Chain A
Amino acid sequence: MPRDKGAGSLDVVIAVMACLAALALGASLIAERAAVSWNTGLAGRITVQILPPEKSSMPLVQQVKAALSVLRDTPGIAHAAQLSDQETVELVRPWLGADALVSELPLPRLIDATIAPGTPVDLESIRQRLKAAAPDSVLDDHTRWLSRLRAVAQGIIWSAYGVLALIALATASTVSFATRAGLEAHHDIVELLHQMGAKAGFIARAFEWHYFLAALIAGAIGAALAAAFYVASSGLEFAGIEAVPFLPPLGLHLSELGWLTTVPVAASWIALITARLSVLAALRRIY
């Protein structure tokens, strides 16, 4: 097949659309990974805060010990440990900074506990026993936080899917338009082959692989640009430039980068199918 007039700019359009589609696909993968990590990171864990005593006269250290012993004696609690002062300061650092003053703040003591997987635990009973042993304790099973996070994550995932669907639709339309425009320029070839007795399948094959390959190359260039962006984002993290707290890192894992190859493959098949349908439609119009 000869190269279409204006094929260069159409290739650029396909490459750009493929790049956007790959970026949207990457974003949806990141959002999904974030939702899963938030879920698995907090599910099955409980946190006990021992607030600096106000109401009770029981010393903080003693309350921590009592709370730890309640947790460790509870069946189903696999692990319970107090966070060191340093770890507690680290937790508030993204919000309050690493100022020396922070260590002087009356921060609560934190106990991180893990529930053994598949074990039913009566959180209300634990809460009551903790209150009895350590009056200033507050049990947080992250349910509220987790459900909000899940809602946010689901929202992000569905938004990403929506954007992905829109860009996929635009890419499909662009590829389809480019293919039809190219075929229009080759109408004389279609007509001649038809005149010489070529069957519709033969004529369609002569065109469809040409457009398949063109879309595959343009799509691959676009997807490669998107992949380069995500690899560069991973590189920034390796270089020590930290991501925003709680937000997932922008880079993609190697297995996730593999998903980006679906973009040029999809683009090329759209081109092939459009080319075939366009040729068959053109042939129906000829005697």
Chain B
Amino acid sequence: MVRFENVGMRYGPGPEVLRDVTFLLEPGSFNFLTGPSGAGKSTLLKLMYLAEPPSRGLIGLFGQDLATTRRSQFPALRRRIGVVFQDFRLLAHLSAFENVALPLRIAGHDAAVYRHDVEELLSWVGLGGRLDARPATLSGGEQQRVAIARAVVARPDLLLADEPTGNVDPDMGKRLIRLFEELNKLGTTVLIATHDRTLIESARAREMRLVDGRLVELRGPR
């Protein structure tokens, strides 16, 4: 599903943020990415969701080597990835419903077809009564849940989440992890970057730890 071989990453002339990162995410696996702040977790995720090219090394995604993949094929690859951004990145002028439906609109689905699914998903994350609310009127936790719903609504092949439970209470955190697990059971490969030890212990999944830009595997795939 995802293959990194000796990947290095630096921004401009600065120091390497990631060094010789090598790992494999098996299809349908559930993984955690941990590490102190500034260790390079977000950069690693950026490389995975095709926001940045690596400075060196090879990245394979869905069986394709990115170095030899034409840029015109990138949108199709990106549509197979769901991302929960740490800063949510909700579109301020769209309602919660419209934000969640965005990946389906981009994929060319008809609103009449996906309306029910989007409403159901928003109800599942506890926002059934706030379909028309704009992000500015939602709390941090509510925004985070909208961002998670948006990432999973199209049932992506790969789900990448950057601190997805950082702004919600423990109960809602568990509920969201269950959502990820359900999605994982349906075949989605999941990678969650987090500091939350309770979350990591509860899921008992593979844990990869980044320290100073290098990857250390703490617990193997379950």
Contact = CB atoms under 8 A, between A and B. Distances in A.
A287 B53 contact: yes
B78 A192 contact: no
Given A202-B106, A287-B50, A287-B53, A197 B77 contact: yes
A192 B89 contact: yes
Interface string B45-57: 0000111110000
B75 A198 contact: yes
Interface in B82-110: 83, 89, 91-93, 102-103, 106-107
Given A287-B50, A287-B52, A287-B53, A196 B92 contact: no
A203 to B, nearest CB: 9
* Chain A interface bracket (under 10, 10 to 19, 20 to 34, 35 or more): 10 to 19
Contacts of A287: 50-53
A2 B94 CA distance: 9
Category for how many chain B residues contact A: 20 to 34
Interface in A1-47: 1-2
A196 B79 contact: yes
Contacts of B93: 1-2
A192 B91 contact: yes
Contacts of A89: none
Nearest to B78: A197
Contacts of B49: 195
B113 interface: no
Contacts of B51: 195, 287
A196 B50 contact: no
B112 interface: no
Nearest to A198: B106
A196 B78 contact: yes
Nearest to A192: B89
Contact of B78 (A2, A188, A195, A202): A195
B89 A197 contact: no
A199 interface: yes
B45 to A, nearest CB: 11
Contacts of B81: 197
Contacts of A126: none
Interface-centre pick from B50, B78, B83, B106 (highest chain A CB count, 10 A): B106
Contacts of A199: 75
A170 interface: no
Contact of B89 (A188, A198, A202): A188
A194 B78 CA distance: 9
Contact of A196 (B52, B53, B103): B103
Contact of B102 (A1, A2, A196): A196
Nearest to B71: A287
A202 B77 CA distance: 16
A99 to B, nearest CB: 73
Interface of B: 49-53, 75-81, 83, 89, 91-93, 102-103, 106-107
Interface of A: 1-2, 188-189, 192-199, 202, 287
Given A192-B91, A197-B80, 5 more contacts: A2-B93, A189-B91, A194-B78, A196-B106, A287-B50
